[in-house]
Amino acid sequence: MLLLYIVGALVVLLGIISVVYDPRRRGKNLPPVYAPLPILGAMVEFSKNPITCVQNVSKKYGDIFTLHNLGFNMTYLIGPAAHEVFFKATDEELSTREAYKFVIPVFGKGLVYDSPTSVMYEQLRMVKSGLQLQQLRKNAILMEQEARGFIANWGNSGEVDLLDQMNRLTILTASRCLLGPEIRENPKVASEFAALYHDLEGGLNPLAFFYPNFPLPAHFRRDRARIQIQKLFESIIKARRSRTGEKLEDMLQNLLDSQYKTGEALPDHAVVGILLGLLFAGQHTSGITATWTAFFLCSNPQYIKELLEEQEQIKKEFGETITFDSQEVGYAGELC
């Protein structure tokens, strides 16, 4: 009987909330709101397939609309005209910090989007100093080595999942260029890091966007992986800091040598957090770009011959080795 009273009270409470707090009761100058369910809003549809949900709502409301999801309002700007408004907006008008709170458990507190704007800019400056042209020239050669070795394992027949494979490849290249040889060149450590990185990625799901600390198994694995990655790097960072000979030239060392304007060095947890942020930022966009490039080439084989001919001309000028200056576009013949 007590359970029935509790359930009845909750139903009444939710009913009152849904009437008092209706996200669709907005000012006339604000975008229309899509909230098909009380309290939950569009959460059910959005969780099942975010892209399909947004596309369907866009067909109904146009280029600018708001999705209400479990207490959160998410406004979308779709199409060239709406995109122009988005990209021209200032930090005071649109805050990236609000949108990226879900990555705080991955990167760490006080880092990047969880830091004051002035501190975030200083951290971005540290990253930028490690991406100078001289370093990119060296990284291009490392990327070629990783790509050739990775694609060679595909064999001469069969099928691969392009998105999965391109994501794996970009993780390898990013690890080689950013994390240092201690991670990539030790098979055991590389395998351990890859598994931990996978668990970190699993923590970036639709629910985490709204409630990053909601008690989900995926979030528990994410948090455990972040702790283990920190431990994995502790011995590497300690060895690097005590190194007396010639220093290695990679992003890890660049961050170890970086300082804030106050002269304060980055603590170890911040070095690891910024490295992870950089790895996530570069890996996903590069993986998706490589996937679409390979997909369109394989779908339009008539262009591959022209592409290979262009590469041969470039090799005549720069040699067989892929370099930053040669601006090679990939391994089209091997991909398809």
Specify whether 61 is located in the same domain as 187. Answer: no
Report if residue 230 sits inside a domain.
yes
Q: What is the pLDDT of residues 148-169, one digit of tens each?
A: 888 888 877 778 888 888 988 8
What is the reported pLDDT for 157?
72
Specify whether 300 is located in the same domain as 174. Answer: yes
CATH classification of the domain holding 213: 1.10.630.10
Specify whether 176 is located in the same domain as 298. Answer: yes
Specify whether 182 is located in the same domain as 294. Answer: yes
Of 90, 120, 146, the one marking the end of a domain is 90
Of 60, 90, 120, the one marking the end of a domain is 90
Structure tokens at 161: 């999942």
Of 29, 57, 90, the one marking the end of a domain is 90
Specify whether 203 is located in the same domain as 302. Answer: yes
- Low-confidence stretches of the chain (pLDDT beneath 70): 1-28, 327-336
Report if residue 139 sits inside a domain.
yes
User: 17 lies in which domain range?
Assistant: 2-90
Report if residue 102 sits inside a domain.
no
The angle at the Cα of 64, spanning 60 to 66, to the nearest 5 degrees, equals: 80
Specify whether 81 is located in the same domain as 146. Answer: no
Report if residue 52 sits inside a domain.
yes
Q: Which residues of 77-95 are buried (b: 16+ CB within 10 A; e: fewer)?
A: bbeeeeeeeeeeeeeeebe
Closest CA to 35 of 8, 71, 67: 67
Report if residue 99 sits inside a domain.
no
Which amino acid, residue 305?
A: K
Specify whether 234 is located in the same domain as 325. Answer: yes
Cα–Cα distances (Å) from 144 to 159, 161, 174, in that order, read 22, 21, 12
Domain count, the chain: 2
Report if residue 104 sits inside a domain.
no
Q: Whole-model pTM?
A: 0.73
Report if residue 107 sits inside a domain.
no
Q: Could you tell me if 265 and 255 are in contact, meaning their C-beta atoms sit under 8 angstroms apart? A: no
DSSP characters over 111-122:
SGGGS-HHHHHH
Specify whether 167 is located in the same domain as 243. Answer: yes
Specify whether 84 is located in the same domain as 191. Answer: no
Q: Could you tell me if 284 and 197 are in contact, meaning their C-beta atoms sit under 8 angstroms apart? A: no
